[in-house]
A = this chain, B = another copy of it.
Amino acid sequence: MKFLKIPAATITRLSIYSRVLEDMEKQAVPVISSKLLAELCGVNPAQIRKDLAYFGQFGVRGVGYYVKELIFDIRKILGLNKEWRVAIVGMGNLGCALIAHGNFAKQGYRFVAAFDADPMKIGRKLATGLVIQPVTEIVAVCRQAEADLGVICTPAEAAQDVANRFAQVPIKGILNFAPIQIQLPDGFKVENVDFTVKLDNLAYHLTAG
């Protein structure tokens, strides 16, 4: 599917388009133009058309895009036409909040394993029915549970060790909430979510901008 080089930003935007489109669908909007979608997403209309053009032709000239079809097409492009099985490590406040968070399930992500290093927490049953298991079992349990993706919510010190275990499974996609740059061989993809980096951006813009 990947003939041209797709900008990383394009993928991120497709994800946002799909979120906005789902909203439109809920409001029973049947068709949308790149102009309106662009406004709702805060981007340029040509950007949207170009992003989609990397993957094919999805619109109707003179009309626009059929909302329902476009949602389907984008989800297919992103690989969301399957259930993704997610393992999560570090069941502190944040880890528990993520499991309880409704948006993951809605988008097709399902938590299939949970781990923690704290012996006090092991064996505890979470709201979803998952039982917390020891981090030493990550490789075995994730293989058994056929996990595709890993989420790291541990303190920074533990994050690299967890990533190494994920790598052995192998789990090739990791969402990392620890404020540290994880080092992994090529072929592994780490996405970082760093709240303080975002806050630092705000601080800078309010200070200098």
Tell me the residues in window 149-167 of chain A with beta carbons closer than 8 Å to chain B beta carbons. Answer: 149
The docked-state distance in angstroms from the alpha carbon of A125 to that of B175 is 32
Interface size of A as a range: 35 or more
The reply to whether A206 and B181 form a contact with Cβ atoms under 8 Å apart is no
- Provided the pairs A19-B179, A181-B16, A208-B1 are in contact, do residues A203 and B103 lie with their beta carbons within 8 angstroms? no
A46 at interface, CB cutoff 8 A: no
Minimum CB distance partner of A190 in chain B: B202
Interface-centre pick from A18, A80, A173, A202 (highest chain B CB count, 10 A):
A202
**Copies per complex?**
2
A63 at interface, CB cutoff 8 A: no
CB contacts (< 8 Å) of A191 on chain B: these are 198-199, 201-202
The reply to whether A195 and B42 form a contact with Cβ atoms under 8 Å apart is no
The docked-state distance in angstroms from the alpha carbon of A188 to that of B20 is 21
Report which of B11, B23, B195 forms a contact with A204, defined as CB distance below 8 A: B11
Minimum CB distance partner of A197 in chain B: B15
Q: Please choose the segment from A27-35, A94-102, A134-142 that sits at the chain B interface, where 4 or more of its residues have CB less than 8 A away.
A: A94-102
Tell me the residues in window 178-209 of chain A with beta carbons closer than 8 Å to chain B beta carbons. Answer: 179-181, 183, 189, 191, 193-209
Interface-centre pick from A8, A80, A206 (highest chain B CB count, 10 A):
A206
The docked-state distance in angstroms from the alpha carbon of A80 to that of B202 is 10
Interface-centre pick from A1, A100, A195 (highest chain B CB count, 10 A):
A195
Those 4 A-B pairs whose CB atoms lie nearest each other, nearest first: A79-B207, A173-B202, A93-B97, A15-B200
Apart from A173-B202, A189-B205, what 19 extra A-B contacts exist at CB < 8 Å? A11-B200, A11-B204, A11-B205, A12-B197, A16-B197, A20-B181, A77-B208, A78-B203, A79-B208, A80-B203, A84-B199, A97-B97, A107-B196, A149-B199, A172-B206, A175-B202, A189-B202, A191-B198, A193-B198
